[in-house]
Structure formats: structure tokens, C-alpha cells
Amino acid sequence: RRANGAACPNLRAATDGDTIERCAPYSLPLMEIPLLRRRKITFLFLLGVGIPSLVLAYLAFRGIRNEAALLEQRRLNEHRAISELVSDTVDAQVTRVEQSFSAVISNYEDVIDPGLATALDSAHAQQPLVEEVFYFKGPETVLLPAADLLFLPDGSSQVAGASWPAAIANDVQVGQRREFQQRNYGGALTSYRAAFAKTANPVFQGELLVAIARVERKSDRIEAAITTCETLLQDYNQVRTRVGVPIGPIARLEHASLLVAAADSLAALDAFVGLHERLVNGEWMLERAQYEFFKGQATGSVDALLAGVASPDSLEEYQLAVASLREFEGERRARTERLLTFQQNAGEDLGSRLSRRLAGVPDRGNRFVLESSGLSYLVAFLNQSLSSAGSWGLLLDEECLREQVVRPALDTLIDLRTTDWVVRARDGRALIAAEEAPVGSITVNAVFAGNFPPWLMEFYQRPQNPYKRLLASSQSIYFYMFLLIASILAFGLILTVRAVAHELELARLKSDFVSTVSHEFKSPLTSIRQLAEMLQADRVPSEERRRRYYDVLVEQSSRLSSLVTNILDIARIEEGRKEFRFESVDVGDCVRDIVTTTQHRVGHEGYVVEAHVAERLPRVRADRDAIVQAISNLIDNAVQYSDESKQIKLDASAADGFVTIAVQDFGVGIAADEVDKVFDRFYRGGDALTRSVKGSGLGLTLVKEIVEAHGGTVHVESELGRGSTLSIRLPVTTEQDDAKDPDR
């Protein structure tokens, strides 16, 4: 039955024994932040933070790009300066070499002076940059006065054969007739020896001893022939025959052949290897054909002897020596071929270059590259000449110039941690380079001054680690500026999001609070009004029912008073205006009084509140009313969330200098992720069952504030669906505390 159109349809009062029921809570629709307000917040953020930050970020980005461009330009200028320094270093080194040889040549007046060749050899030994010294006498005459060649061009040393002197001519002819026609080797020896005794000319004597050794071998007089060859080697080694062939290689070849005939293989092997070694070392100056003949005889015999040995391991030293000798011969042959090609083919080009020099071309015009038969020569004319008929010049060693001049200069001037370099030939081949293959972008292509040497220097800027470049270079200021701007943007965005989220949450909490508190006020007021009207109209059928209505009126009034007190107290505490009156309080008495009052208040609804208070519970220094309010709020919270279980336990105990009051219910419990939030203002559980329970959401908040103001702590233990235990711990008051601060 609804009385007078009451707003609470669940409140029923009747004479037939109906009970009074509380109204179920309801909620108002959530308050939403207007769309215009959210747009305003976003606009203000963009206007105050976003746009200025984007402008600063753009400026920082432009600064980074400009700094990078300046760095590239600075690197380009550095590489150009390095290329000029390297070019100047090469020019200075070549100039010093030219001056050194010019000083040597100026001391001599004749190009064929033996002293000049010796002096040039000495200077050459001190200047490895020079491959060879040449003298240009005319279009068809290029001399290499100090060249150490493996052999000479054919026909360069051959002379017309001289006739035998009349005193020995007859003996020689008789000996040749007996040797070759009659095969009378004894008579031939007699004739040759007679001729040898009649002449003192070493050329004729040498040729006669060669003939004697030959005849002795034919007559199987091996030992005598070996002795004759040893005499030739000792006394006639450098003597040349009438046709210009040195007797030394002839005698050594014959001597080695005699050792083979004598079955002395090791001695023969030593002799042939020795002949080859002397040929390679230039002991005799031979023409190409002569050298090839003797060298072929020596190497062929060595190969035959090595192949004929049953155990080649015993000749390992010989094999290594032969291999090393042949490698050395290859190097000398290549150098000789190169110099002879220059000597034979460079005359015309040298003539045209010399005419430019005489025409007054600057000194660097004296240096040029000459190409001939596929070979390249670095040529430098000297300022010093013996006569107007010719000029001196130098052939520079390309490898020495690269490895001993250019490479050290580049390694010294370039920071290899940031820059790679390559020196290339005209055809693009890499001649020398840094230790590692070049990577990154090319910055400079530079040639040497006067295009001499005709090589190209390339410099590469290594790609740097972008983080290292930003953090360790002058660009770091822009990076830090950009980082600061990004941080400002992120911080501003976070603040905006948090502000909006806070506004939304605050609006929701306020909406819940207004809805809940409105109902909390309206429900008891409605009950009071209905019951008061019924009592005023004398519509209560019995005295027992009348007393019951009076109890309800008192309960609802107390409920209103408690609600108002909670709201006012939490406001005073947050504003710092709440004052506590501390005194010595017996917690046990407080607990018993609260349990008695609560049991009387909620007992008619079936709730049973049990109290277990330890004996001799120590006193605490506290505001009695505040502590009573805190414990009452805990009990009210337990009553509200007991669900179908009507049992509530309250324990008061002391331990470790603290008094603990624990209130336990066996109701809905609290989810694990919500335990830390139950003491927050306006907080209500997230599930529908919890949110359906009436309350303002301020009771536990007030408990925490009161307990912490007394120097205590609060604690929650809960299991979802099995109830919760909320406890407060208050420090025990000692006599010293009372003496120090009796009023507190």
C-alpha cells in the first residue's frame, strides 16, 4: 500500500503485520562532458602546445639538415686540401730526387766516363724512387749508362772476328784439321799447345785453351779437361773471344758438362746452378741470344739432373734454390725488357718533349708519361745536361712512388676512421687503397698537379652511425632540442589525456555520488514522513506496532545523522579543518557499546553482530567519537555487503604495541584488483551486485583518514564470494606519551 502517493513504493505500512522495507537504490544517468568542452580542451592543447612544438620541431629539423650540409661542405674542403697536400708532397719528393741526380751529373763532363756510371749507381742505391737514369742524345739514341741489365740487345756488342796472328796461324790450322777432319786428337793437342806457347795475347790464349779442353774431352782425358777449364775460369773469366763472347760462361758450361761425364752428379748440379746464378747476377754482359743459349743449357741440364735422381727429397735444397733463382731471374728479365723497350722506342717521343722544354715550358712540363709497346713510363727530364746535344732524364719507379710516397702521405693526412681513399690508374684500376674496401659516398675526385703521376685520387666519406653523429657532433644540440620538443609534446598529450580522463571519472563519480546520496537522503526521509503521518493520523492499530514505528523513526534519523556526519567530516579532513580531541580511550568499551547499538539497530532485520574483545586490552590515545565513527562505518560496510549472510564478527586484540579491531563479514567479498581502491572517495565495486548496495562511497575513506590521523593503519583481506575482513591498527598509549602531551 502506498501512503499519500509516496515516492518509495517499497515502503509498506499496514495493520495486518506488514513489515517496513527499504527502497532499492536507483541511479541517475551518467553525466557526460559536453562535446563542446572536449573540443575546447583539444583546441587549447593544440594552440598552446602542439602548434608551437611542431614549429620548433620543424626549426630543429631544418637546423639538423643545415648542419649536415655544412659538415658535408667542410668534409669536401678538407678532402680537396688533402689532395693538394698529397700532390705537393709527390712534387717535392720528385724535385729532391731530380736535384740529387743533377748534382751528381754536374761533376762530370763525359757521358761515357766510368766514374759517372759509378756515381750514378751510388745515387741510385740511395734513391729507390728512381727506376733508371737515361741520356737522350738524339732521336735514335737513348743511352742507359748505369743500367744493370740482364742482357743487351742482339748486335750491340758483337765485333768483327780478328784473324789469327801469322806466328800461330799455321799451328791453329793444323790443329783444327787434325781435330775435325783426321780425328787425331793427340796431334791436335800438340798443335794447339804449340800455338798457345807462341802467343801472349789473352784473347788468343783463351780461345786456344777452350780448344784444348774440347780435344781433351774428345780423347776421354776428362780430368785433364777439367783442369784446363779451371784454368780458364781462374785466368780468362772476363776475356772475350774474337767475336765478343766472354770465355767465362763457355768454360763453366764445358766444366759442368765434364763433371756429368765424370759421373759426379752433385758437383755437376752445383756447376750448372752456379752458371745460371752468375748469368742472372750479370757477371758477364751478354747479348740476348748469347744469354738465352747459356741459360737454356744451364737450366735444361739442371732439370735433367734433378729428374734423374731416384730420391728427389734429398735434393730439396737444390729445388728451393733453383725455384728462388728462377723467380729472381723473372723479375730481372721483366725489368730488362722494360728498359730495353724504352731505349729502343722512346727516342721520338723524348725528342718532342725536349723541344717543348727548350721552348720554355715550366719545370713541371719536364715530367710526363710515355707509353710504348703497352708499357707506361714516368719520365722526368733533368735541368742539368752535359751539352746541348743531349739531356739527362730519370725513369721513376711507379711502385715505389705509390707505396713509399703517395700511400704514406695519404695515411698520414687522412683520418681513416671517417674517410676511405683509393688511387686509380687512367683505366679505372685501383692501384693502392686504404686497408678496407671503400664504402660510403665519394666526395672528391682529384688529379695530381700537372697530371703527374697520371693517377686519380678518390676520397670516400664513411657512413656514420646516425646516433653517434647526433650525440657526439655539433648536431647534438639540434637532436636534444628535437628530443625536448618531442618530450614536451608527449608530456602535454599525457597531461591532456589524464585531464580529460580525470574529468570523465570525476563526472562519473560525482554523478554516482549525487545519485546515491540523493537516494540515501530521500529513502530515510520518506520513511520518516510516512511513519510520522501514520502516527499523526492515529492509524497504528496497536501499541506494539507504535513502538516499532518509533524505533524505525529513530533508526532512520540516526542513519541521516551518520550520513551527514560522514560527508561533513570527510570535507573537514580534506580541508585540514577537522580537529580531534585526543584522550585515553578504552577500546574494549567502545567496541562493546558499538556492538550493542548496532545489534539493536539492525537486529530486527536478522543481522547478528558478535564481538570478541581480548581481556585487559590496553588503552589508546584517540578521539573517542572519531574511533566510534570509524568502527561504526566498518560495521555498516559489513552489513551492506553481507548479502544473504547475516553474521558479522568483530574482534579486538592487542599485539606488538598496537590494538587491532577487525570486522569480518561473510558476504560478497572484494575482487583482487579492487582491494586497493576500496578506500578511495566515491569508489563502488564494479559488479552489479556491489553497485546495487546503497551507500555514499565515503565511509571507508573516512575510516582511513581517521585511522591515519591517529598514527594507525588499515588493512583489507578479502576473497570474492566468501567475505571480507577490514581491520584498523591503533598504537597503544604509554605513560610517557601521556606525560609528554597530555592534551595532544
The pLDDT of residue 279 is above 90: yes
pLDDT digit string, tens, across residues 17-61? 444 444 444 443 444 445 566 667 667 767 776 677 777 777 766
Residue 423: strand, helix, or coil: strand
CA distance to 17, 494, 563, 592, per residue, from 607 (Å): 20, 49, 21, 16
Per-residue confidence (pLDDT) for residue 715, from 0 to 100? 87
Asked if residues 619 and 732 have their Cβ atoms less than 8 Å apart, the reply is: yes
pLDDT computed for residue 202 by the predictor: 93
Listed range (468-477, 520-529, 622-631, 640-649) with the worst mean pLDDT = 468-477
How many beta carbons lie within 10 A of that of residue 172, not counting itself?
Answer: 21
The per-residue pLDDT for 365 is: 62
pLDDT at 146: 86
Average pLDDT over residues 232-239: 93
Among 31-45, 97-111, 204-218, which range has the highest average pLDDT?
204-218
Helix (H) or strand (E) holding 396: strand 391-396
Half-sphere exposure of 336 (CA within 13 A, CB side): 20
**Predicted confidence band of residue 155 (pLDDT cuts 50, 70, 90):** confident
SS3 call for 287: strand
Segment 423-431 mean pLDDT: 89
Confidence at residue 184, expressed as pLDDT on a 0 to 100 scale: 93
CA angle at residue 539 from 534 to 541, to 5 degrees?
Answer: 125
Q: With residue 717 as reference, give the H or E element that holds it.
A: strand 713-719
Q: Using one digit for the tens of pLDDT, what is the confidence trace for 532-576?
A: 877 777 777 777 777 777 777 777 787 677 677 767 666 666 666
Could you give the CA distance from residue 509 to residue 31 in angstroms, rounded to a whole number? 9
Helix (H) or strand (E) holding 718: strand 713-719
CB atoms within 10 A of CB 114: 10
Based on the number of CB atoms within 10 Å of its own CB, is 381 exposed (0-12), middle (13-18) or buried (19 or more)? buried
- What is the CB neighbour count within 10 angstroms for residue 15? 11
Q: What is the pLDDT of residue 364?
A: 53
pLDDT score, position 665: 87
The DSSP secondary structure of 32-85, one letter per residue, reads PPPHHHHHHHHHHHIIIIIHHHHHHHHHHHHHHHHHHHHHHHHHHHHHHHHHHH
- The string of pLDDT tens digits covering residues 702-731 is 788 888 888 888 888 888 877 888 888 888
> Rounded mean pLDDT of 165-170?
90
More reliable by pLDDT, 531 or 88: 88
What are the backbone dihedrals phi and psi of residue 219, each rounded to the nearest 5 degrees, phi first?
A: -90, 15
Question: What does the pLDDT read at residue 31?
Answer: 41
In whole numbers, what is the pLDDT of the chain averaged over residues?
A: 79
Of 246-255, 286-295, 424-433, 501-510, the range with the lowest mean pLDDT is 501-510
CA atoms within 13 A on the CB side of 523: 23
From CA 414, how far away is CA 405, in angstroms rounded? 14
Rounded CA separation 146/101 (Å): 12
Q: What is the pLDDT of residue 706?
A: 84
How much is the pLDDT for 158? 60
- For the chain, give the percent of residues with pLDDT over 90: 27
Neighbours of 106 (CB within 10 A): 14
425 vs 705: which has the higher pLDDT: 425
Q: What is the pLDDT of residue 186?
A: 92
Torsion angle of the four alpha carbons 45, 50, 53, 59, in this order, in degrees rounded to the nearest 10: -150
Query: Would the pLDDT of 75 be above 60?
Result: yes
Per-residue pLDDT tens for 608-650?
A: 888 888 888 888 888 888 888 888 888 888 888 887 777 888 8
Name the band, by pLDDT with cuts 50, 70 and 90, for residue 664.
Answer: confident
What are 457's three cell numbers?
A: 685520387
- Say which residue, 597 or 236, is predicted with more confidence: 236
What's the pLDDT at 587? 83
pLDDT band at 417 (very low <50, low <70, confident <90, very high): confident
Predicted confidence at residue 170, as pLDDT, reads 92
Is the distance from CB of 707 to CB of 728 less than 8 angstroms? yes
Work out the pLDDT band at 329, boundaries 50, 70, 90.
very high
Range from 458-467, 500-509, 524-533, 561-570 that averages highest in pLDDT:
524-533
Q: Contact at 8 Å (CB) between 153 and 288?
A: yes
More confident residue, 137 or 287: 287
Lowest mean pLDDT among 61-70, 133-142, 278-287, 520-529: 61-70
Look at residue 649 in the predicted model and tell me its pLDDT: 87
pLDDT at site 1: 28
Q: How far is residue 312 CA from its own chain's centroid?
A: 54
Cell numbers that stand for 289 in this block:
741470344
Q: pLDDT-based confidence at 490, cuts 50/70/90?
A: confident
Q: What is the pLDDT of residue 278?
A: 94
Predicted confidence band at 215 (pLDDT cuts at 50, 70, 90)?
A: very high
Helix 265-280, helix 247-261: angle, nearest 10: 160
Q: Which range, 213-227, 418-432, 453-467, 510-524, is most confident? A: 213-227
d(CA 278, CA 75): 56
In this prediction the pTM is 0.57
Tens-digit pLDDT profile for residues 369-383: 888 888 899 999 886
pLDDT at 8 over 90: no
Name residues whose C-beta falls within 8 Å of residue 530's C-beta, 6 or more positions apart in sequence: 3, 4, 6, 8, 11, 13
- pLDDT of res. 189: 93
Pairing of strands 430-433, 419-424: antiparallel
At residue 12, the pLDDT reads 41
Task: For the beta carbon of residue 253, count every other beta carbon within 10 angstroms.
Answer: 19
